[in-house]
Structure 1
Amino acid sequence: MLHPPSHSAPAQSSELLPHPGAVPGDGPRWAGTDRRASWRTAIWIGAAVVAVLAVWFGTLAMRHLIGPDEGRYAEISREMLATGDWVTIRYNALKYFEKPPFHMWVTAVAYSLFGLGDWQARLCVALSGLLGIGMTMLATWRWFGARAGWFAAIVLLGAPMWSTAAHFNTLDMTLAGAMACTLATMLLAQHPDASVAARRRWMLLCWATMGVAVLTKGLVGIALPGLVLVCYAIVARDGALLRRLHWGAGLAILLAVTVPWFWLIARRNPEFLQFFFIHEHWERYTSNVHSRSGPLLYFVPLIVGGMLPWAGLFPRMWKAMRDSVPQPAAFRPLLLVGVWAIAIFVFFSLSRSKLPGYIVPVVPALAILAAVALDRMDLRAWRRQLVGAGIVAAVCLMASPIVGSLNANNIPNLFYRTYAIWVAITFALMLAGVVLARWLAARGRLTASIAAYGVGMYVAFTVALLGYDTIGRPLSGADIAPAVAHRLTPGMPLYGVRMLDHTLPFYVRHPLVMVAEADELGFGTTVEPSRWLPTIAAFEAAWRDDGPAMAVMSPDTYQQLAGKLPMYVVARDYKRVVVTNRP
C-alpha cells in the first residue's frame, strides 16, 4: 500500500537516474564516490532536454495552419491586434462570443513581439503544453521522488495526445495546460511536509490557474476541478480536504482574474451574457445545437490512441490508484489524480457535444499514474511492455498503406497517398524506438530504456505531425495567398461567398465579408446585420456597383456565378477560387 512519503521525499529528491553499476531493477541511486559518472549523467540529461526543447519550439513553423481552429484563432488574434480592441472579440470583423480571450491575448502579444506567422500563432499552445509537463513533473517529484517525476515528464512527452495537441493552435491545449497547473498546485499544496505558508501559496496559485482556465474556455475551468474535488471527497471520505482550500482568498483571486473582462464585455455588449452562458455552456452541453454529437464511448479510442505508447500500463495505473490507501484521514494523491481522469472523462462522455480536444485535460493525471507504475516496475515487466509495444508498432507499420486509400472530408486522395509515406515512417521510428529501448534493457539500464522509449515516441509522432503538412498546406491556401495579397488593398472588401475560409484571411491579412451563408458567424451577423450580405442578390449588386472588390468561393459556386457576373480569376486551388471584379 502507498503511504505519503512525508519522511522520504527529501531523500528521494536526489534520485534521478540509476548508477551504471546498479543491479537491474533495484531502483535509481547516485554514486556519491563516482563524480565522473554523475557528471556524465547530468550532461546526458542536459543534452536531451536541450534537444527536446529545440524540437518542441523549432517545429512550430514547419506546418501551415489547418482550419477551422488554427486559422480561426490565429485570425481573431490578428484582428484583435490590428483593431486595438482587446475586449470585444471579433472574427472577420463580426462579434464572436463563443470563447473568452486569454488564448487570443497571448497570441496577439506574440504577434506584437515577434510578428505574424505560423509559429507565433502556435506559441501559446506550445508554452501551455511545456508548462503542463513542468508542473506535472514537479508535483510527481514532490510526492513520489525524482525518478517518478522524470517519468511523468517522459510520459507526457511521448503521449501523442499531449505533445501533438501542444502544436495545434486550439483552445483545448491552453485549457489543458492551465488545468494541469491546477492539478499540480493542488497536489503540492496537500503534501504533508509543506509548511503552512507554502500550502497557502500553492492553493492561491491553484485558484489563479482556475481563473486562467475560465478566461480560456469558460466555466469548465472551475466546474471540472470542483467536480473532481467533490467526487474525491466522497470516494476517499475526506471532507477535510474541502476545508483546506483557502476559500476566501482563493475566490478573491479567482474573481480578480476573471471578472474584469466579463464586466467590460457585458457592459459594451449587452447580448453577451445570454449567448455565452446559456447558448455556449448549457445548450452546448445538453443539446446537439452545434451538431457535434457522438456515442457514449466516443472518447475511449481517443484515450487509447492518445496514450498509445503507454497503453500497456493501464492495468498497473489502475492498481496504483486502487492501492493508494494510507493512514486514516491522510490525503491520497494517486486517488485524486485517478478521480481527476475518471470524472472529467465521464463528464465529457455524457455531454451532447463532443470533440477530440475536450479530453486532453485528463492526460496529465494519467501521466502521473503511469509514472508511478513505471517507477515500481522491474526490468522483466518492462521488457514485456516493450514486446507489446513492438507488436503494436509493427502491425501499424504494415497497416499504414490504408491511409493511402482514404478519400474523406473533400480532401483529394493524392494528398492521403503522400501522407501515407509519413505515417509509415512514423511507425518505423516507433519500432526503432522499441528496439533501442530493448537494447538498453538487455544491458540492465531500466531507467535509460524507459527514457529512450519515451523520447523515441515523441520523435515518431512529431514526424507524423510534420508530415501532415502534405494535406495541411493545400488546405490552408498559403500557396495562393501571395497572389491574392498582391491585389488586395486595405479598404477593399474580400467577400466569402457561401464560404467561411478559416485560413486564407490570416495568410492575406484581411478579414472576409460573409455572403449568403453565415456558417458559425450566425450570431455576429444577427447582432450586426450591416456587416454582411445575406443574399446572393445583395452580393451581385455590391459586386457590380461598389468599386473594386475580391471574393473567395468554392469551385462549384464559381461555376454558378461566372456566367452572371464579371469575374477575373486571381488564384485558385482545389478548394477555392479567388476572383476580382476588375480586369
Structure 2
Amino acid sequence: MIMANNKIAYLKWCLLFGFVLVTYFIPLNGRLLWQPDELRYAEISRELIRSYNWSVPELLDIRYFEKPIFGYWVGAVFQMLFGENNVSVRLGAVFSTLLSGFFVYLSAKMAWKKENIAFNAVFIYLSMLMVFTIGTYNILDPIVTAFITMIIFFFQWGLTTKYFSHKLIAFIFIGIACGLGVLTKGFLVLVLPTLVCSVAAIYFKQFKEIFFFSFVAIFTAFLICLPWAFVIASREPDYWHYFFWVEHVQRFMSNDAQNKSPIWFYIPILLAAVIPWLGYLFASIAHAWRQKGIHLYFLLWLVIPFLFFSITKGKLLTYILPCIAPIAILMAAYIDSAFWQKKVGTVRLNACINIVFGLIATIAIIASPYFPKINVYQIDESNKLWLAAGAFIFWTLVALVSFKPKFWYLAAACTLVLSLSVGHVIPKYIESNNTPQNVIAKYQDKLSKRAVLLTNNVGLGTSLAWVLKRSDITMLHQTGELGYGLKYPDAVNRFYRLDQLTKLLEDNHYRDVAVVVDSSQDTILDALPGNPILIKEGKLVFAFYEGL
C-alpha cells in the first residue's frame, strides 16, 4: 500500500512538472515582448547593467521614479546569466510565480496536514488563467505576489505555533518579505498585510501578541529597505517625494487617479482569472465561511485585498493577483471535502463552464471573418485563425473528459494548447504596434546608424532601445511617463516640441535623423518638415531623413 501511494504521489508530481514545463517554460520564446510593459522593464534592467548604475532606475537614460529598484535587479540578474533575450526577460516572473506556488503548497500543508490538499492547491494555483498568463509576462506583479504569498504562509505559522522562537522566526521572514516587496513596488505591500493581519489577529484572539511581534517585522523590513533608501535619497533627493505622493496617493485615491474604473471592475476579472476552475469558486467561498477557523484565514486574504482594490479609484487588472493564492487553497480544501462526502455536482458544473467557454470561443473565432466589426485577422492570416480555433477546440474536448469526477484534475489541461500557440495567433496589425521587435529589426541597420532617433511614444521608444541596444531615444511632441524625468536640466536635449523639429533637422543637415510613430499620429506626420522617406509597416510609420 505504501509503495502504491508513493508511486501515485510520484506520478502526480511528474504531471505537475510536465504542466509547468509546457505552460511556463516552453512558450517563453514563442511570442515577442509586449510593449509597453515587458519592453519597459526589460530595457530598464538592461540599462542598469550597461551603466553600472544599480541604484537609480533609468529608462532611455532618463530618471524613471515610478517604482523602486528590486524588480529591476531581478531582471538584470537573469539578463546577465542568460543574455538579453525574450526568455531571460521573463524568467523573473516565472520563478516568482513558482515561488508563490511553493508557499501555496506550504500553507495548505500546514493548515490541514494532508498531502493531497497541498498538492491540489499548488496544481490549481499554477493552472489558473491569470496566474500563468501574468506569470510568464515580464512585469513586477508576480514578484510582489511571491512576497505576499510568503507573508500569508509565515503569518499563518506565527498564528498557529506555540513556540516563541518559531513566532520570532516567522515575523522576521514577514519583515524580509515586506521589505523586499516595498523595494519592488512600494508601500502598498505593507498596506495589504497590515489590513489582513490585523483582522486575522482579532479573529483568532491574538491581537496583543501579534501587535508585539509586529515590531519585529517592522524593524526587519526597515533594515532591508534602509541601504537602498539611503543611497537613492542621497543621489536623488526628490525621489521619495515623487514616489510617495504621485505614485501612491494620486495613483490610487485622487480625483485624477490613473486608470480610474468603477467599483465593480474586478468582479468579472476575478471570474475570468480563476478559469478553468471557475465552477469551484463560489462553493469554495461558501464552504470556507461555514467551516470558519483556518478556512476563514484564507478567506480574509481573498476578501480584504479584493475590497481594498475595488474601493481605490486607480485600478489595473494585475492588482488582484495576490488574491488568487488563497482562492486556490480554499478550492483544494473544498474539493477534498466534496469527494469525501461524494458530492460531485461542482465537478460537473466546472466541466460544463469550460465546455461552454470553449465552444463560444471556437464559434466566435471561426465566425469572425463574416463579421467585419469583430474580425481581427486579415485574409492571408487564415492559418492563425484556425490555430486559435484549434486551441479552443482542444479546450472543449478536455473539458468533456473532465466531466467525469475521477478526471476532474484534467481541467488544468484545457489551457495547454492555448499557452503554446498564443504567440503564433496574434494578428499582424496588433503585432506591428504591440510587439514591434520584428518590425524594428527589419530596419535595424538603417535605424542604428541614425545620430538622432525620435518617437512620441515611450513604449515604442523602449522597443527601439531594446532592439537597437541604444538608449539615446529622443521624445518628440509627447513626454508620456517620462515627463517627470525630462524636467531635469541634464535631460533638456531628450525632448523636442514639433515647432523645434525644423531647427533640429537643420542642425543635422536633414540627414542621419529618423522618426518612428504610430500611423494614427497625423499631427506629427503632417508636421514633418522636408521630404523624408516614409515607410509604413502595419501600424508603424518610419520617416528617414537622408539629406536635402
TM-score normalized by structure 1? Answer: 0.84
Question: Which letter does structure 2 place at the counterpart of 1:543?
Answer: L
Within a 5 Å distance, the mapping from 1:542-557 to structure 2 comes to 542-546=504-508, 548-555=512-519, 556=522
SS of aligned partner of 2:454 = strand
Contact 1:494 1:510 in 2 (8 A): no
2:455 equivalent to 1:496:
yes
Contact 1:406 1:413 in 2 (8 A): no
Within a 5 Å distance, the mapping from 1:77-476 to structure 2 comes to 77-144=45-112, 145-192=114-161, 195-235=163-203, 238-240=206-208, 242-243=210-211, 246-325=213-292, 332-378=293-339, 379=342, 380-385=344-349, 386-401=351-366, 421-439=386-404, 441=405, 446=406, 449-454=407-412, 456-463=413-420, 465-467=422-424, 469-470=426-427, 473-475=431-433, 476=435
Worse-superposed segment, 225-234 or 417-426: 417-426
Contact 2:121 2:331 in 1 (8 A): yes
In 2, Cα distance between equivalents of 1:366 and 1:268? 42
**Shift of residue 176, structure 1, vs aligned partner:** 1.5
Alpha carbons of structure 1 residues 48 and 416: separation in structure 2 relative to 1, 3 Å: same
In the alignment, structure 2 segments of 5+ residues that lack a partner are: none
Contact 1:484 1:508 in 2 (8 A): no
Task: Give % identity.
Answer: 21
Question: Which letter does structure 1 place at the counterpart of 2:295?
Answer: L
Worse-superposed segment, 234-243 or 479-488: 234-243
Alpha carbons of structure 1 residues 148 and 39: separation in structure 2 relative to 1, 3 Å: closer
> Where do 4+ consecutive residues of structure 1 move more than 6 Å?
410-418
Contact 1:544 1:581 in 2 (8 A): no
In 2, Cα distance between equivalents of 1:195 and 1:231? 22
In 1, Cα distance between equivalents of 2:187 and 2:313? 17
Structure having the higher helix fraction is 2
**Shift of residue 414, structure 1, vs aligned partner:** 6.7
**Shift of residue 267, structure 1, vs aligned partner:** 1.4
Question: Which letter does structure 2 place at the counterpart of 1:189?
Answer: G
Contact 1:407 1:413 in 2 (8 A): no
Alpha carbons of structure 1 residues 284 and 388: separation in structure 2 relative to 1, 3 Å: closer
Contact 1:415 1:470 in 2 (8 A): no
Number of residue pairs aligned between Structure 1 and Structure 2? 531
In the alignment, structure 1 segments of 5+ residues that lack a partner are: 1-30, 326-331
Worse-superposed segment, 378-387 or 67-76: 378-387
SS of aligned partner of 1:438 = coil
Alpha carbons of structure 1 residues 181 and 468: separation in structure 2 relative to 1, 3 Å: farther
Question: Which letter does structure 2 place at the counterpart of 1:179?
Answer: I
TM-score normalized by structure 2? Answer: 0.89
Alpha carbons of structure 1 residues 468 and 295: separation in structure 2 relative to 1, 3 Å: farther
Q: 1:536 aligns with which of 492, 498, 507?
A: 498
In 1, Cα distance between equivalents of 2:65 and 2:294? 37
What do the CA deviations read for 1:326-371 (whole angstroms, capped 9, x no partner)?
xxxxxx3221211111111111111111110111110001111111
Q: 2:537 aligns with which of 568, 573, 579?
A: 573
Worse-superposed segment, 490-499 or 98-107: 490-499
